[in-house]
Amino acid sequence: MKDIVRSVSIFYLFFSLLVGGWGDSAGRVRMTADEILKRMEENNVYKSSEIDGAFIITDRFGFRKKTFKLYSKGEDKVLIVFTNPEDEGQKILRIEGEIYLYFPGAEEIIHLQGSALRDSMLGSDFSYEDMTGEKEFRTLYDVLFVGEENVKGKECYRLHLTAKTGSAVYPVEELWISKQTFSLIRGRYYALSGRPLKELEVKEIKKIEGKFIPVHLIMRDLLKKDSKTELIIDRININIPVDEKLFSLEELSW
């Protein structure tokens, strides 16, 4: 009997270390890394959304502002329409893991697959993938609980994610997730070599229809000097009716 208890204890300890679900000093059982990620995904995934927002791209020469409207449905359909004068009418459609770009001047659709998805979007620190992809962390990554940290006054869980497949945007990610709201507070994204590529910082979160949604974020491409892009969401409606036809080539070229 003793052996059985010992075996179960060792198994529990090993499993807990693997997924981060061991008890704390007060005897409370913490959430597993997978549960934390699931709660964060629940904040990130909506049936549909309609967003008005802006990018503010800052580099050594100053800043540029690009405004946009974003429509999404489910986890894999996103349409972004730029509204600032320089880029007015440019559209990005993400569907079935592929990206289609529409350029109104040329009235042409460019179909992108592969590594081009990681290219910078309109010169910002966000890539096409950053803006339109990857909400299903648990299917793309193996996750490990690292610990708990205080990030700018917010108690956070720190998770370490390793990509299961090459289709993930970043091979390795570290996420700091608020213990209170289960929303992302900070993210750091790495190359396979372990080199940090980008850093995301969430400055403001709003509670909308029971979900904690970041409305002011800063992305820094760590390979670029003195470069950052702020993403500011001015208006967001979630779980509203969004026409399925929006996510088609017909709408893209309209």
Partner 1 sequence: MVMQFLLRLFYDFLSFLFERLLFVSRFMVLCMVFLLFFFVSGIELEAESFTTGRIVSYVSLVDFPETVNAFGGDTGSPAGDGNLFDRFRLIGLTKESIIVKSLKNQNVKGLVELSATLSNNLLLDIPRAYVKVRFPSFRLLIGKAHVSWGEGFMFNSGDVIFGGNRGSAVISCYSSSSSMTDNGGFSIGALSGENGSFISTTWLGDLYIPFGRFSYAEFVIFPYLFLSSLNGDSFDSIESVTFPTLKTTSLGMRIVSKLWKTKIEAGGLWKDNNLLPYISLQGHLFVNWSLSCSTRVDFEPILNPPDAFDDFNDFLADSVFPDIKENLSLSGAIYGGENVTPFPWLPIGISYRLESLIFPFLGWNEREDATRGLNPGYALFMYGDASLSFDSSLTWFLRGIVSPIDFSGSFYTGTRWSMYQGFSMIFGLSFQGGDSNDVWGWDRFGDFALLVGCEFKF
Which residues of this chain interact with partner 1, rule CB under 8 A? 57, 59-65, 85-86, 88-89, 95, 98, 101, 103, 105-116, 118-120, 122-125, 128, 221, 223-225, 227, 247-250, 254
CB closer to partner 1 out of 3 and 250: 250
Which is nearer to partner 1, 90 or 183 (by Cβ)? 90
The residue with tokens 């996510």 is 247
Tokens of 59: 């580099």
Instruction: Count CA within 13 A, CB hemisphere, residue 224.
Output: 18
For the record, the structure tokens of 71 come out as 């429509």
CB of 120 to partner 1, least distance (A): 6
- Output the CA angle 236-242-244, nearest 5 degrees: 145
Burial class (CB in 10 A: 0-12, 13-18, 19+), 74: middle
- Torsions phi, psi for 27 (to 5 deg): 90, 0
**Per the structure block, which two tokens stand in for 48?**
């549909």
Q: What is the DSSP string of 73-129?
A: ETTTEEEEEE-STTTTT-EEEEETTEEEEEETTTTEEEEE-GGGGGSBSTTSSSBHH
In the complex, what is the shortest distance from the CB of residue 221 to partner 1, in angstroms, rounded to a whole number? 8
- Could you tell me the smallest distance in angstroms from the CB atom of residue 8 to partner 1? 48
How far apart CA 206 and CA 74 sit, in angstroms, is: 21
Q: How far is the CB of 108 from partner 1 (least distance, A)?
A: 5
Q: How far is the CB of 200 from partner 1 (least distance, A)?
A: 17
CB-wise, 16 or 58, nearer to partner 1? 58
Nearest-angstrom CA–CA distance, 150 and 213: 20
Please, which residue, 207 or 224, has the CB nearer to partner 1? 224
Nearer to partner 1, 122 or 233 (CB): 122
As measured in angstroms, the least distance from the Cβ of 107 to partner 1 is 5
The smaller minimum CB distance to partner 1, of residues 25 and 113, is found at 113
